[in-house]
Structure 1
């Protein structure tokens, strides 16, 4: 399988290190268009689509391979092996932050650092852990997805995006959700929202920046605080933003906290 075609890999810029950007559920690499270009003068930048999303090769989608995030981590490592030069700084949004974490645990020598936008190792509340949703909430969400995916996408995408002053972004996310094959989206949603990677968080040794919005329907601040406490080398920064996609709705503030983090790495 041609990796570039499978994941619709795009490369810009050049530099002594590589920055790899990976999108979240229902999105594609276009969601990085305000952030990734800011770094192409200093880094080799790689954007790509998860298999089943955007311009990826949908025929490569294997429900067995992608029954867990491990399958996506396999793809990421292949992309890094084939296209990255020098140390890799992985930038992942939402579920992709966990994909990057798994890849970084498996082959830590390949990753210099991680940046996680709106990450969550577990969406379901469990004892003292507040993921933001009850099990009943998640079951209801998945049931609605199964019965009426397009209706769910039309109602939920604007709420997920937030950004009330930029309604065009909510419309963009709705369209992105609706372009995704419904069967693949349903499968990926189950893998995403039923996942629990809390046991893995403490194994990610690379420096990690957690970027959270001040008001996020999907990843509440309690999750960011949990990650800060649990990551061996973690930093948390909160961006003043309503919604789950600060890289789209607050790109300048997002770049500011990324630059602060990169400076601590000497980059």
Structure 2
């Protein structure tokens, strides 16, 4: 199957412009970039896609063995770029897709000119000398809740992940996105996401990277962003005024401005 069909790839913007590839986070789809993309389409080629199991992707393409860890998703990214014959791409990855982009850039660095990592976390579980934001008991409880009542988990967790309690419509939108994701695949993807440990991969990256850290992010706290910055060679850390874990929804103008400013540093 073509990766373009499997991952519901859409291409917009200017053919001759620099290419940005936007990758969404857990429980989301490419629609979550809808308020960021308009800032780039006049001067850039923009590529959007859905991870298998999300949005308009082909659910029949899901293979537990392929997607047992984040490398399967990184392979999808590289197959998309290969089919489109793209190089020197600016990869913009939100949440778990930040580490997917890291793995893809390690495997084929020539495909990428820059990485933009929005709310990245190489490990969500606390470890000795490392603060990931969650104890193992926290993650086990989260996964058990997700297994027993995915829809209920989605409605309860989405507002906390989104933050911005003064704008409850944002939390509701994220919850609805969670609920549109195939539950069986989402449960497996959650395990792959929240039990991953990509700390040793960070020093292997040779592509320059921008880390966008939000304030009051319950999923990727500021200590995590600082850790990524310290261990990712050639990285730049920018802390946004945006609160919560999804600035692509809550603060698209600020997010787009930070990406644009970083790209101008070439």
> TM class, shorter-chain normalised?
over 0.9
Q: Partner of 1:164: helix, strand, or coil?
A: coil
How big is the shift at 1:48? 0.4
Contact map agreement 1:25 1:189 (CA 8 A) in 2: yes
**1:67, 1:188 → 2: CA distance?**
8
Say which is worse superposed, 108-117 or 8-17, in terms of deviation.
8-17
Match of residue 22 from structure 2: 21
Structure-2 residue corresponding to 1:190 = 191
- Asked if 1:9 corresponds to 2:9, the answer is yes
- The answer for unaligned runs of 5 or more in structure 2 is none
Q: CA deviation at 1:2?
A: 2.0
Distance 1:32 1:225 in 2: 25
Match of 2:51 in 1: 50
Residue 110 of structure 1, CA deviation: 0.8
Task: Check whether the contact 2:87–2:112 (CA below 8 A) recurs between aligned residues.
Answer: no
Alignment partner, residue 38 of structure 1: 39
Q: TM-score, length-normalised on structure 2?
A: 0.97
| Alpha-carbon distance in structure 1 between the residues aligned to 2:139 and 2:156 | 16
8 Å CA contact retained: 2:145, 2:153: yes
Equivalent-residue separation in structure 2 for 1:156 and 1:21 (angstroms): 24
Relative to the length of structure 1, the TM-score reads 0.97
Deviation at 1:38, TM superposition (A): 1.1
Asked if structure 2 preserves the Cα contact closer than 8 Å seen for 1:17 and 1:85, the reply is: no
1:166 shift after superposition: 2.2
Trace 1:175-254 onto structure 2 (pairs within 5 A): 175-254=176-255
Whether contact under 8 Å (2:81, 2:87) holds in the other structure is no
SS at match of 1:66: coil
Q: What's the CA shift for 1:86?
A: 4.5
Deviation at residue 4 of structure 1 after TM alignment: 1.7
Q: Post-superposition shift, 1:169?
A: 1.3
Gaps of 5+ in 1: none
State how many pairs are aligned: 265
Give the drift of 1:259. Answer: 1.7
Q: Which SS does the other structure have where 1:71 is aligned?
A: helix
